[in-house]
Amino acid sequence: MPLEIHPLQESDMDAAYDLMWEAFKPDIMGIMYPNGINQAIREWSNSKSLASWRKDPERIKKMKVIDTDLPDDDRFGKIVGVADWDFYPKYRTEEEREKEKAESEGDGLPPDCNEEMMIDFFSQLGKAKQEQLGGQPYVYLHMLATHPKHHRRGVGAMHLRWGFEQAEKLGLPVYLESSPIGRPLYERNGFETKGWLPFDARKFGGEKELRHTLMLRPAKGEVDVK
């Protein structure tokens, strides 16, 4: 089954969000939305994501991997994996970073969510990025999701290869926070553990701790496609 990587289109947003839910439902998104997702959640999330993307398309890059052999009526539009990348090629002052933080927090929270958990989780993500990177230039892998039915086909590695190529052109490191299930892929591809997010999902109804790893990869290296 041939896999291809392409830029995500605005028309793909609903399918991409539903794929993310399938990928992350067993862990972090299942705790964010204990009652599942609905159209109101989907519309809220996609509207915020789309507004940011349209505002700064040079910074935000959304990619998809498709399987061209899937039927035309495939529920996810033949998409088997998606990734969101943020590019920060220049140093950002503390004032600039605080402005970005305020704009992000101004979006509020989605409907029907675990508010306490989301406030705790995302505040810790922001604090960790500040401690690890400050204002230095870097590439941020904000999200990488593969549909569970398409694991171990090299979908994640295709996304990493694309991102690494862009990062190397800019001479930048790549930073991410990994859930337990994604950590082996990132370790195989040159990411180093820099710390741990002090987040325990069990405090918010999760069955497991879901310890997230703070990881950084230098600009150069080969992608392990296995």
pLDDT band at 1 (very low <50, low <70, confident <90, very high): low
What's the confidence (pLDDT) of residue 107? 80
- What's the confidence (pLDDT) of residue 105? 79
In this prediction, residue 217 carries a pLDDT of 96
Calculate the CA dihedral of residues 4, 177, 101, 29 and round it to 10 degrees: 80
Q: Whole-model pTM above 0.75? A: yes
Distance CA 104, CA 106 (A): 5
Question: Across residues 90-114, what is the average pLDDT?
Answer: 90
Amino acid 222: pLDDT: 44
Is the predicted pLDDT of residue 225 greater than 90, yes or no? no
- Which domains occur in the chain, in start order? 3-217 (3.40.630.30)
